[in-house]
Amino acid sequence: MEFIYYFGEVFTPISFMLLVGGTIGGLILGATPGLSPTMAVALLIPFTFRLEPAHGLILLGAAYTSTVAGGAVSAILLKIPGAPANIATTLDGHTMATQGRGAEALQLSFLSSAAGGVFGVLLLIFLTPMLAKWALAFGPSHLFWLAILGVTVIGTLDTNSVVKGLLSGCMGMWLATIGFDDIMGAQRFIVHPSLAGGISIVPALIGLFAIPQVLAMFARGRQPVGSDVIAVQKHPIGKAMREMTRRWRALGIGTAIGSIIGLIPGIGGQIAGLVAYDQAKKFSSERQNFGKGHSEGVIAAESANNAMVGPSLVPLLTLSVPGSPTAAVLLGGLLIHGIFPGSDLFDNHPDVAWTFINSMLIGQVLMCIFGLYVAGLAARVAQVPQYVMAAVVLGLAVFGSYSVQNSMGDVYVMAALGIGMFFLERFGFTAAPLVLGLILGPIAEANFTQGSMIADATDGRFSYFFGGTLNIVLILIVIASVAYLAWMEVLQRRQDRADQANEAKA
């Protein structure tokens, strides 16, 4: 309950101003394509040089929470996921926006972000010591199985065909191996100099999601004025709140999965949204509506990726081990003020530690308020004529992917992947499984290599990868997930055959 004593600190004029500024700035940065939360926080670090430690951290904490939520704005309105965390949001969120339900999608995303986010920060406040152990329980073998589990999600993300979904996933994993391999430093599949740095995830995301979108808008050609204007529906906030409480199952699944997966160093933040989306879909009674603008998809994805914010800082704050790239940047923000995370932080600088955590709690609420305030207005983006939209998204995609590393190579990769994806999409392939492969490939590979090296030096590969309770539990979940996949495929086949028979009769 110690944290309550420090709430006053958050509401002093300077702190609160920074909090509001950080939140609004974070929302804008988060909505900018190409700017992941990590980059946004890194950009803000220099501003904190001149501030008091607690004030600097308020700014960083507020920016971290709101950039994660801000990523949903471009995901919903432009179909450009700001970071891997927002991939799942595009699936239903953007569909809703094209149906004129952008305001509803944005409101739901901010509300569920706040709900998930507050829960995550409360976990950070009350359960940190316990969670720290859990975060460290995942060694290379467990992370390997977790990545494999992620791969099995691919099958259900793709609504058309399990085989094509898995094939896209394989292509994604292969794309991830391009460039220098991380451990040996050997060159792999570098057929063009712009691939030497490997395929970075943010430019790939932008290309795979935004470019097919642009080309699809071109495909409509020069349409007469007025034919493609979408009527943007007004959506009262109260209705969004009722919708969210009605979809408590998706909210619960998203929050729980985000909190649990967010804890695991190195993997959590990137896939929390996708795994939550997949699970919400499996447990939903309206499974068939996912991907067609279903509110549960947005709720699950967004509650998960904000729930992960709090727990993802547990390893950093307790053990001084940054569990995610953003946490690593936050570590820098602490260090420049001479504050070492770990027992030092909570024992000698409790004011800094708790003010920081409290600011994330308040930040979640502020983010939600500002978000809801602009949702109705922002949804009007859908009314921008298609031909302007196509050019704007193309421009944003180029600027966004360039700015990640100041690299033209990234822009080429973005465009090549995007154009390829457009044509593949016409033939039943989808981007989401490919991206999941791209994210999970390196995790699976690195942990497999490291695990084998440790296993070779100690008790052998078999007992290393298949022994221990946690390994066995994870393997069982993988098997269950594959079985579910096979079962769905069988059902689908049966359905197809029935449809064909009906067609033949008619």
Partner 1 sequence: MRQWQHIIPSGAIAALGLWVCYVSFTQKPTQAFLFPRLISSVFVILALWTFGRALLGLSRAGTGIGRTMFLNILPGLLVAAVYIFWAAEALGFYSGSALAFFTLLSLYDPASHGEVKSWVRRIVITAGFILVMYLLFAKLLSVFTPRGLFF
Partner 2 sequence: MTKILKGLATALLLAAAPAAAQDYPDRPVMMMVSYGAGGATDFQARIVTMTAGNEDALGQPIAIINKPGAGGRVGWNWLATQAEADGYTLGAYNIPHFIAQSIEGGVEYSVDSFEPIANWGADPAVFIVGADSPFNSMQDVVNWAKENPGKLTFSGAGLFVGHHIAALQLEAAADVKLAYIPNNSGGAGAMKAVIAGEVMGGVNNLSDAYRAANAGSVKILGVFDTERSSFLPDVPTLQEAGYDIDNASVNYRGIMVPKGTPQEIIDKLAAVMPAMFGNPSVIKQMEAGGSPIKIMTRDEVIEMWAARQKTLEKLLAGL
Helix/strand/coil for 52: coil
Residue 225: contacted member of partner 1, partner 2, none (CB under 5 to 8 Å, by partner type): partner 1
- Name residues whose C-beta falls within 8 Å of residue 43's C-beta, 6 or more positions apart in sequence: 29
191 binds partner 2 (CB under 8 A): no
Single out the segment in contact with partner 2 by CB under 8 A; choices: 204-212, 228-236, 300-308, 332-340: 332-340
Residue-wise over 336-370: b if at least 16 C-beta within 10 A, else e?
A: ebebebeeebbeebeebbbbbbbbbbbbbebbbeb
Single out the segment in contact with partner 2 by CB under 8 A; choices: 61-69, 160-168, 169-177, 196-204: 196-204
Within 391-420, which residues bind partner 2 (CB under 8 A)? 405-407
| Residue 65-104 contact track with partner 2, rule CB under 8 A, x = bound | ----------------------------------------
Residue-wise over 421-449: b if at least 16 C-beta within 10 A, else e?
A: bbebbeeebbbbbbbbbbbbbbbbbbbbb
CB of 168 to partner 1, least distance (A): 9
Q: Which is nearer to partner 2, 47 or 174 (CB)?
A: 47
Q: Are 104 and 295 in contact (CB under 8 A)?
A: yes
Six-digit token pair at 111? 């509300």
Residue 232: contacted member of partner 1, partner 2, none (CB under 5 to 8 Å, by partner type): none
CB of 406 to partner 1, least distance (A): 6
Which backbone phi and psi does 312 adopt, to 5 degrees? -65, -15
> Total binding residues for partner 2 by CB under 8 A?
60
Report the interhelical angle of 140-157 vs 268-283 (nearest 10°).
50
**Helix-strand-coil split of the chain, %, nearest 5:** 80, 0, 20
Q: Which is nearer to partner 2, 179 or 428 (CB)?
A: 179
Which stretches of the chain bind partner 1, using CB under 8 A? 32, 35, 43, 160-161, 163-164, 166-167, 170-171, 173-174, 177, 181, 183-184, 186, 188-189, 214-215, 217-225, 385-388, 390-392, 394-395, 398-399, 402-403, 406, 408, 411-412, 415, 419, 423-429, 441, 444-445, 448-449
Element (H, E) at 188: strand 187-188
334 burial type by CB count under 10 A (0-12 exposed, 13-18 middle, 19+ buried): buried
Q: Give the largest Cα separation in the chain, rounded.
A: 79
User: Which residues lie near partner 2 (CB under 8 A)?
Assistant: 38-39, 42, 45-46, 49, 136-140, 179-187, 193, 196-198, 265-266, 315, 319-322, 325-332, 335-338, 340-344, 405-407, 442, 446, 449-450, 453-454, 456-458
